[in-house]
Amino acid sequence: MQPSKTPMLTRETIAQRVGELAETIARDYADKDLLLLFVLKGAMVFGSDLMRLLPGRVAVDFVRARSYTGPNSSGRVRLLYTPTAPLADRHVLLVEDILDTGRTARFLEEHLRGYQLASLRLVTLLDKPARREVELTADYVGFTIDNQFVVGYGLDYDEAYRELPAIHVLENGKTG
């Protein structure tokens, strides 16, 4: 398995869309202090680009959950890291790389509801709605994509390819 030679989403296309998302989010939170919660590790690249386009006061913390062990989701979610920042009364925006079955984001949303947040919303760079197993819609979506396994721009295959600047479909090397 290896990344497609031609990107599915080029770095220019991604940058353009992240800029649009930042504009929308900046408008929606114009009078509020925002706490971005990056869902590690996949969202670190998207989150870093997004946060630098947001004007005003933005704090960052991290959550880490695992529901995935390869191209097939196991369906179970475990929490590996929780934020150290106090969450009560904060406007929290959960930053995801991709929504697939929806189980990870759903689990994190339910977990975070225990913290008396001022508000909770979800932004995801990529969305694969065809794969959804639990009801979940993101408040902000970068790109809706087909049911293909993608890598790059933070997204990995067994920890490889996160460093690629564009997003590629993972495909069987023999066809390339």
- How many other CB atoms sit within 10 Å of the CB of residue 22? 19
Residue 68 contacts which entry, Mg ion, ligand 5GP, none (Cβ below 5-8 A, type-dependent): ligand 5GP
Closest separation between CB of residue 111 and ligand 5GP, Å?
13
Nearest residue to 104 via CA among 141, 62, 75: 75
Q: How far is CA 48 from CA 28, 54, 60, in A?
A: 19, 10, 10
- Kind and range of the H or E element at 124? strand 119-127
Interactions with ligand 5GP, residue window 137-156 (CB under 6 A): 149-151, 155-156
Closest separation between CB of residue 142 and ligand 5GP, Å?
13
Stretch that binds Mg ion, among 16-24, 37-45, 69-77, 87-95 (CB under 5 A): 37-45
Q: 42, 47, 83, 142: which one contacts Mg ion (CB under 5 A)?
A: 42
- Does residue 49 carry a catalytic annotation? no
Q: Is 106 helix (H, G, I), strand (E, B) or coil?
A: helix
**Nearer to ligand 5GP (CB atom), residue 92 or residue 151:** 151
The active-site residue out of 100, 127, 139, 158 is 100
In the chain the first and final C-alpha atoms are separated, in Å, by 10
Active site residues: 100
